[in-house]
């Protein structure tokens, strides 16, 4: 073994975690971001005497996990692979599974493809689930996360059977149809059942004193952008000079197209993207001059926009970001989990996502135990749609905080105030 030493709390969690695994074969490490749940899980697998560990994660997180594995230097072999490639794993000697960001297996009422694959191939093995947000948007996300294992505490074999006991099923209108809404699970019934599988740990427990300081900056876009948005709302269709169509004939499509337009790009009906207003990207480059940036964007075309403005000073790979003075730009969905942007000076959002999970996870990418302040900036178009989305995201119920109620609340404070508007002209 190397001279590397775990933190005291990681050793304590490890000792408890092995006992849980020995008894129940499932351990859920609900540890907040940056508290070292990856290293802790690798340590527990070693203490459990695993011989070949399968570590399921996101593609961008693989280098970080490899570094942790090499740092710990455990006695077992490891296969680290992104969830989407899990079907390629053919090793018959795997005897232990670690599922990173395990909340992604919480889709309901039907499990997603990866979740079914995990159950099909490795359900009999001992498992560690990792997540700082175990059920970010609904307690109903719990069922399939445990369903992947034959050692699940729930007797029900399907979500629908489980819902008869654990969910208050409601109905809601979706277009012209009325559908069942299974999102209102009864946490008071669920919590006593899953508690014995969970080890929870917060940033405050780990000694973090970081403060997330959010600032919203409003930028006037080019007049053409506002004309496009107004015309689309009126006519439900736009036709460019080269004949490309942008159609918004439903409320959902209208919301999506306006979301794109107000940040300077739009996806046409034929699948091609239009880049027409570089105001936001240029503002970010000018306003944050001299700072190393971690930038999050929403739509793929926004990467092209940022790349054209920043040129060679912008990368989308973590190794290059960490090893050079380049900025990094990541799509919110793929970059919000499992990575650290601690080498950056601040996080800047080119656009915003509707997901509260992505909000809470992505804004915390700078956090380290020694860092006192994390500066997060939202760049919104003046008079656009982003501020409305931001307000809705902040209103969403935080289903994650209930996991940590028995312990201290996170040592992260938000000073975000959407009403404190700073308009840059």
Q: What is the pLDDT of residues 307-356, one digit of tens each?
A: 999 999 999 998 899 999 999 999 998 877 767 888 899 999 999 998 87
Homologous superfamily of 211-220+279-423 in CATH?
P-loop containing nucleotide triphosphate hydrolases (3.40.50.300)
pLDDT in the model for residue 420: 42
pLDDT in the model for residue 372: 60
pLDDT in the model for residue 398: 64
Q: How confident is the model at residue 209 (pLDDT cuts 50, 70, 90)?
A: low
Answer whether 8-201 and 211-220+279-423 agree in fold. Answer: yes
For residue 203, is it left (φ>0), alpha (ψ between -120 and 50) or beta? alpha
pLDDT in the model for residue 401: 66
CA 244 to CA 231: how far, in whole Å? 15
> Which of 137, 139, 130 lies closest to 188, judged by CA?
139
pLDDT in the model for residue 364: 67
H helices of 169-222, in order, are: 187-194
Give the mean pLDDT of the chain: 89
CA 84 to CA 98: how far, in whole Å? 15
CATH number of 8-201: 3.40.50.10810
Q: How confident is the model at residue 276 (pLDDT cuts 50, 70, 90)?
A: very high
CA 238 to CA 407: how far, in whole Å? 53
CA 89 centroid distance within chain: 24
Instruction: Please state the domain extents for the chain.
Output: 8-201, 211-220+279-423
């Amino acid at each position: 073994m190397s001279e590397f030493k775990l933190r005291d709390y990681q050793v304590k969690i490890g000792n408890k975690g092995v006992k849980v695994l020995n008894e129940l074969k499932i351990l859920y490490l609900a540890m907040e971001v940056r508290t070292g749940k990856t290293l802790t899980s690798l340590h527990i697998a070693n203490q459990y005497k695993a011989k070949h560990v399968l570590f399921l994660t996101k593609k961008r997180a693989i280098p970080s996990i490899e570094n942790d594995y090499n740092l710990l230097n455990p006695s077992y072999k490891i296969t680290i692979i992104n969830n989407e490639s899990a079907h390629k794993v053919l090793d018959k000697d795997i005897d232990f599974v670690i599922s990173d960001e395990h909340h992604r297996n919480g889709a309901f009422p039907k499990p997603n493809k990866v979740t079914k694959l995990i159950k099909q191939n490795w359900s009999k093995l001992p498992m560690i689930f990792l997540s700082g947000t175990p059920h970010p948007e609904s307690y109903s996300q719990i069922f399939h996360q445990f369903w992947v294992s034959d050692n699940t505490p729930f007797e029900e074999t399907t979500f629908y059977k489980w819902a008869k006991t654990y969910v208050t099923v409601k109905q809601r209108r979706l277009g012209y149809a009325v559908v069942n809404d299974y999102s209102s699970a009864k946490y008071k019934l669920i919590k006593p059942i899953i508690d014995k599988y969970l080890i929870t740990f917060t940033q405050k427990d780990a000694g973090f004193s970081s403060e997330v300081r959010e600032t919203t900056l409003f930028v006037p876009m080019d007049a053409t952008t506002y004309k496009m948005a107004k015309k689309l709302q009126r006519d439900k269709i736009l036709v460019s000079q080269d004949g490309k169509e942008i159609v918004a004939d439903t409320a959902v499509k209208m919301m999506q197209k306006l979301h794109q337009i107000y940040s300077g790009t739009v996806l046409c009906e034929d699948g091609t993207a239009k880049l027409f207003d570089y105001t936001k990207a240029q503002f970010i480059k000018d306003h944050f001059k001299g700072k190393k940036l971690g930038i999050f964007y929403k739509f793929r075309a926004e990467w092209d926009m940022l790349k054209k403005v920043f040129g060679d000073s912008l990368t989308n790979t973590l190794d290059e970001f960490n090893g050079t003075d380049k900025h990094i730009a990541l799509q919110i969905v793929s970059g919000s989990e499992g990575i650290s942007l601690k080498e950056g000076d601040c996080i800047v959002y080119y656009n915003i996502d509707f997901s509260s999970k992505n909000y809470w996870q992505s804004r915390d990418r700078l956090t380290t135990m020694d860092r006192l302040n994390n500066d997060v900036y939202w760049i919104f178009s003046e008079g656009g749609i982003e501020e409305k989305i931001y307000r809705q995201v902040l209103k969403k119920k935080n289903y994650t905080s209930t996991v940590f109620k028995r312990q201290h609340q996170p040592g992260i404070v938000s000073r975000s105030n959407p009403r404190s508007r700073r308009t840059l002209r």
